Amino acid sequence: MFSKACEYAIRATVFIASESEKGNRVSLKQIAREIDSPEAFTAKTLQKLSRSGIITSTKGAHGGFHVLPEKMTEIKVSQIVVAIDGDTVYKRCSLGLSDCSEEHPCPFHSRFKPVRTGLQEIVENTNLKDLTSGLISGETFLKV
């Protein structure tokens, strides 16, 4: 569904966002520990998120990653997905036809469409705040 990099990206962003809500910056090391991901690989992913304006990074001692307050509701999961994997997950034909549409559908089109649309809707309508609340209240988890 999502690539490994994208899974790490979403988990990392949710963790960074939740710590930002508490007023904390977090280091790569902390992130990798808390979301149980390979450190160096996660670093690459965080760089992409930073360049995409989803998270903010600061170098040096006491540096680290954080999410700006206004991003908490602005950033949708879809933006993370697009930054890492592109939008093919919730746009592409399930059978790989390059031009699959209502007028020229693959055999699976009508059945698959609600699934794809459902995915698109949840990633486009879920923001960071929506995901951090459960984490902060202890109802949801980022590892294991």
Which residues bind to DNA, rule: CB under 7 A?
A: 3-5, 8, 26-29, 37-41, 43-44, 46-47, 50-51, 57-65
For residue 38, state whether it binds its own copies (rule: CB under 8 A).
Answer: no
Non-local (6+) Cβ contacts of 126 within 8 A are: 76, 77
Q: Report the partner that residue 62 touches, choosing among its own copies, DNA, none (CB closer than 5 to 8 A by kind).
A: DNA
**Interface with its own copies (CB under 8 A), residue from 68, 97, 124, 129:** 97
Per-residue b/e over 22-53, b at no fewer than 16 CB within 10 Å? eeebbebebbbebbebeeeebeebbeebeeee
User: Does 24 participate in binding its own copies (rule CB under 8 A)?
Assistant: no
Decide if residue 99 touches its own copies (CB under 8 A).
yes
Q: What is the DSSP letter of 64?
A: E
Please, what is the minimum distance in Å from the beta carbon of residue 128 to DNA? 18
- Please give the structure tokens belonging to residue 126: 């879920």
Q: Shortest approach of DNA to residue 105 CB, angstroms?
A: 22
Mention every residue, 6+ apart, whose C-beta is less than 8 A from residue 69: 20
